[in-house]
Amino acid sequence: MVFSSAILDTYMSNVQSSKIVAYASLFFAAIGVVKYVGFGLKLTNLFLQLYILSGKNLKKYGAGKGAWALITGASDGIGKEFSLQLAKKGFNVVLVSRTESKLVDLSSEINRKYKVETKILPFDFAENKSSDYAALAALIEPLDVTVLINNVGQSHSIPVPFIEVDDTELTNIIAVNDIATLKVTKLVIPKLIAKKMGLILTMGSFGGLFPTPYLSVYSGSKAFLQHWSTALAAELKPNGIDVELVLSYLVTSAMSKIRKSSTLIPNPKMFVASTLSSIGLQRGAQGRTATSTPYWSHAIFQFFVESTVGIWSGIVSNQNLQMHIAIRKRALKKADREKKGL
Q: What is the mean pLDDT of the chain?
A: 92
User: In sequence order, what are the residues at sequence separation of 6 or more whose Cβ sits closer than 8 angstroms to the Cβ of residue 155?
Assistant: 173, 207, 215, 218, 255
The pLDDT-based confidence of 341 (bands split at 50, 70, 90) is confident
The topology under which CATH files domain 57-329 is Rossmann fold (3.40.50)
State the pLDDT at residue 256: 77
Candidate list 61, 114, 218, 295, residue with the active-site label: 218
State the pLDDT at residue 342: 65
CA–CA gap between residue 69 and residue 311 (Å, rounded): 34
The predicted-structure confidence for 237-270, as pLDDT tens digits, reads as follows: 999 999 999 999 999 987 777 888 899 999 999 9
User: Is pLDDT above 70 for 48?
Assistant: yes
- Whether 153 and 130 have beta carbons less than 8 Å apart is answered as no
The predicted-structure confidence for 187-215, as pLDDT tens digits, reads as follows: 999 999 999 999 999 999 999 999 999 99
Residues across the chain: 342
State the pLDDT at residue 128: 96
User: Is pLDDT above 90 for 20?
Assistant: no
CA–CA gap between residue 270 and residue 255 (Å, rounded): 17
State the pLDDT at residue 1: 47
The pLDDT-based confidence of 26 (bands split at 50, 70, 90) is low
- Whether 109 and 132 have beta carbons less than 8 Å apart is answered as no
State the pLDDT at residue 259: 83
- Whether 113 and 102 have beta carbons less than 8 Å apart is answered as no
State the pLDDT at residue 158: 95
Q: What is the mean pLDDT of residues 111-139?
A: 97
Is 218 considered catalytic here?
yes
- Annotation-wise, does 248 bind a ligand? no
State the pLDDT at residue 300: 97
State the pLDDT at residue 250: 93
pTM reported for the whole predicted model: 0.89
The pLDDT-based confidence of 275 (bands split at 50, 70, 90) is very high
User: Is pLDDT above 60 for 328?
Assistant: yes
Of the chain, the percentage scoring pLDDT greater than 70 comes to 89
CA–CA gap between residue 122 and residue 137 (Å, rounded): 13
